[in-house]
A and B are shown apart, each in its own frame.
Chain A
Amino acid sequence: MFRKILIANRGEIALRILRACRELDIKSVAIFSEADRESPHVQLADEAFCVGPPDVSESYLNLPNIISAALISGADAIHPGYGFLAENPEFVEICKDHNIVFIGPTRETMTLMGDKAMARKTVIAESVPVLPGTDVLEEDREAFSFARQYGFPLIIKAVAGGGGKGMRIVTNEGELRDNLSIARMESHRSFGDDRIYLEKFLPDARHIEFQILADKLGNVIHLGDRDCSVQRRNQKLIEEAPSQVISPYMRRKMGDAAVRAASAIGYHGVGTVEFLFSPDTSRYFFLEMNTRIQVEHPVTEMVTGVDLVREQIKTEMDEPLDINQRQVFIRGHAIECRINAEDPDKNFMPSLGEITRFRLPGGPGIRIDTHIFRGYKVLPYYDSLLAKVISHGKDREEALIRMKRALYEIDIQGIKTTIPFHRQMLNDIQFRQSEIHTRFVENMQESIQ
């Protein structure tokens, strides 16, 4: 049983974890940078420590100060949230060295799934389908012979990449030649690892992921799927559960595959197995597994009624799951719109400044996860996510109606946000009919320009 958890994050996810702690009657310790002193996660925590200046590398990634805060406050465990230290195997080891529980997977599983090439191999062994792809590229000519065999388009991926970073789509030999070295350089710069590989690219596919929940006793279940096909440069903007394009049969099949992948590596806690799904052929392919709580987890919470963060903490305390696969029911439909501090008219350029007006939507079927307030300053150091607006209804139509109303009610002034983009999407015939794919937003932008 944990008595105290340190939350090594900021923003809406820090608040989300705080709320779970309070419901579990576990004391919370917040950390913050000098820029976040007024943030609600600092005010609502039982204790709070300033760990550094606004710059992330000296505050939210400042390992000595974060561990020191945990030791001084007597925290039993650290919850990393998403981003920052959530997928850093070295941090897992450091926590262990100081007898602090890291709420997340083991170092070994994290390293395995963090290496995209290794992850591919692991799931292939469990007969989970993957797209045709190469091993780690030793020489460029391997890439060209793969291209001749499978044809274009292809996608170059960084072995250390993930979360939409470190990918390049190429449509001909010239582009492939140019992009191989750039991809290596980019990967080296972003992840300190220049290994890359190639995969066949599916242009009109949908991004469908399965939420995994597992305890330390080997019970692994999935809590259904999320459709995250509305993306821009591989960054998700709208997520829904359940997907409208997969049949109950496919859902079972893909869910089973996700559970197999997680079981094979002895996974525990919450995780997400991502697939690409081709509606034309009804085939699915493993993309990657995320070994953390995800931004879009609330849509699953809305349709299953399971508090994922609470379950994540409970499994870390060695508690067994209190439901099995047959007790998982999907009720209605949920949609999440990410409200980012970005200007949709200027190619989603980050927008900085102070929020001068802030009105929250509410009412039936609406949930808001946010850390912002009037007077909040959007700074360049942090992620542009301001709020998650989540709607839930008895079916997709009702969830859409509620989301449309919520987007009418919400008002954020002082900076540019993605609210106008979401309002436009909610009126789009194709989106309303769920005829979308992962390049839908890019195509839409091109057609406007």
Chain B
Amino acid sequence: MKTFFEDKMEESGRLIENEENADFPEFREFCETGLVELVDLFCERNIKSLETGFDNIGIKLTSRRDVHPSIHTPDLKTDTVEIETGLDSIKSKYLGILHLLNEKGLPFVNIGENVKEGQVLGLVETVNILNEVKSTVDGTLIKVLEDDGRPVEYGQQLFVIETQ
């Protein structure tokens, strides 16, 4: 599951130079307090790129958007994930709220589990109707690209399956 922070960063198009730096306590503190604010400001002002840092940690934010007005699709990850060979992505055919948990509160499929073509991976709730998202291939679920309870749109990649 992604944290709010990761989510925010992905949204604005982030680039953290060195993830090991996260071990520094100052950096942790900064993440908890200032960074969210910084990212918000970055999005709000439509800044193209920004480099800042303290001590020996540098932060670089770059926006992949080149259109300046407004904040587009703040709640959806419309960027497509590049799928390597041997991997397949399962996309949403509906616009609605993604449900990854069944009525017992357990995931339909856990990461690392094998799935069969036609197997239900999740549900998309569209105007009170639960639409099944089924795997189109046999393979192993290796990644879930969106969190439970989040809105998803038509064509959005939801699951990555390793096919061979």
Contact = CB atoms under 8 A, between A and B. Distances in A.
B127 A68 contact: yes
Interface string B64-83: 00010111111110100000
B153 interface: yes
B96 A50 contact: no
Contacts of A73: 75
B94 A50 contact: no
Contacts of A44: 69-70
Interface string B44-77: 0000000000000000000000010111111110
Given A45-B70, A46-B70, A47-B72, A64 B155 contact: no
A48 B74 CA distance: 9
B159 to A, nearest CB: 18
B153 A64 contact: no
A50 B95 contact: yes
Interface in B123-161: 126-127, 129, 151, 153-156
Given A65-B94, A65-B95, A72-B96, A51 B154 contact: yes
Interface in A45-80: 45-53, 59, 64-65, 67-69, 71-73
B47 to A, nearest CB: 18
Contacts of B71: 46
Contacts of B126: 64-65, 68
Interface in B84-142: 94-97, 126-127, 129
B97 A72 contact: yes
B76 to A, nearest CB: 7
A67 B70 CA distance: 23
Contacts of B97: 72
Nearest to A34: B155
Contact of B129 (A34, A43, A52, A64): A64
Contact of A69 (B70, B74, B95): B95
A42 interface: yes
Contacts of A52: 154
Contact of B127 (A34, A51, A64): A64
B129 A49 contact: no
A34 B95 CA distance: 13
Nearest to A48: B73
A68 B94 contact: yes
B151 A72 contact: yes
Contacts of A48: 72-73
B74 A43 contact: no
A68 B126 CA distance: 5
A64 B67 CA distance: 30
Nearest to A72: B151
Contacts of B73: 47-49
Given A50-B156, A52-B154, A43 B95 contact: no
A43 B65 CA distance: 10
Given A49-B95, A50-B95, A71-B127, A34 B154 contact: yes
Nearest to A42: B72
A3 to B, nearest CB: 15
Contact of A43 (B67, B94, B96, B127): B67
A51 B95 contact: yes
A98 interface: yes
Contact of A50 (B72, B74, B129, B153): B153
Contact of A49 (B70, B127, B153): B153
Given A44-B69, A52-B154, A68 B95 contact: yes
A325 to B, nearest CB: 38
A34 B80 CA distance: 13
Contact of A98 (B69, B127, B153, B155): B127
B71 to A, nearest CB: 7
A50 B69 contact: no
Given A64-B127, A68-B95, A43 B154 contact: no
B76 A49 contact: yes
B141 to A, nearest CB: 24
Nearest to A97: B127
A344 B78 CA distance: 39
A51 B129 CA distance: 16
A29 to B, nearest CB: 10
A373 B35 CA distance: 38
Contacts of A72: 75, 95-97, 151
Which 6 A-B pairs have CB atoms at the shortest separation, nearest pair first? Answer: A65-B95, A50-B153, A68-B126, A72-B151, A50-B154, A68-B96
Given A49-B73, A65-B96, A72-B95, 14 more contacts: A42-B72, A43-B72, A44-B69, A46-B70, A49-B154, A50-B78, A50-B95, A50-B154, A50-B156, A51-B153, A65-B94, A65-B154, A72-B97, A72-B151
Interface of B: 67, 69-76, 78, 94-97, 126-127, 129, 151, 153-156
Interface of A: 34, 37, 42-53, 59, 64-65, 67-69, 71-73, 98
29 contacts: A34-B154, A42-B72, A43-B69, A43-B72, A46-B70, A49-B73, A49-B153, A49-B154, A50-B78, A50-B153, A50-B154, A50-B155, A50-B156, A51-B153, A53-B155, A59-B154, A64-B94, A64-B127, A64-B129, A65-B94, A65-B95, A65-B96, A67-B127, A68-B94, A68-B95, A68-B126, A72-B151, A73-B75, A98-B127
